[in-house]
Structure 1
Amino acid sequence: MSPPRRSELEMRKELVRLRMEMQRQQLDYHAEPLRHPLRQLGHLFAPGRAARGKGTPLAFGGVLLLTLFGKRLGRFGKLARFALEVYPLVSAGLRQYRESRPPKPPQAPPKPQA
């Protein structure tokens, strides 16, 4: 025999419960940096992060700005957060690319035309 079907009212209640739980988890996730701002700063200066790519004052200022005003910036805030996440990867990749290329031999100055 097939299992008994739940009533429509029970299914709606369950859906509402799941939505409320999802919203609670989202609030917890987004409130974490506000609850522990010193922990956020600690992650910036962690030894593992410094080895990947040293933070510049500009990146540090961007992180601070996004921590304070991230939600109010809308699409620009999302784009800026993405850029700050990608910046260490791109800078490390460029550094590795420059180090792997052989240096160019010095060129002789052009001969003056008579």
Structure 2
Amino acid sequence: MSSTDGEDAMRTMTDKATYDRLQKDVDTVKNDMSALADQITDVLDAFTGSARKQARRSYKQARSNVDSMMSDIGQRGSEALDAAQEAAGTLEESLEDAIVERPLAAVGLALGLGFLIGVTWRR
């Protein structure tokens, strides 16, 4: 076993946390989109008679909300990606430092993790 197995395991854990965070953001966006769809439906219902002015204002507000939300989504996605890249870089540096400082312990840890993974996969 090489030291890359430990690195891969740590990256997988980091990727899982990042995935969970991104999934939560996606769920929030879905809820926001549903609310915006409801707003647009309300706008279309209001397009009768004297309510046209109000509907236009509501449409503009909904459009503004969509634009704002899309900007926010882009920013959140960029921030999440930056955080994931930074975490992966930090994790890699920490792992590399630990391996350089204690090579025998790192080899022992890699062998132990490999054994545990092998035993788990046999079942």
| Range into which the TM-score falls when normalised by the shorter chain | 0.3 to 0.5
Q: Which has the larger radius of gyration?
A: 1
TM-score, structure 1 length as denominator?
Answer: 0.33
Q: Which has the higher contact order (CA 8 A, sep 6+)?
A: 2
TM-score, structure 2 length as denominator?
Answer: 0.31
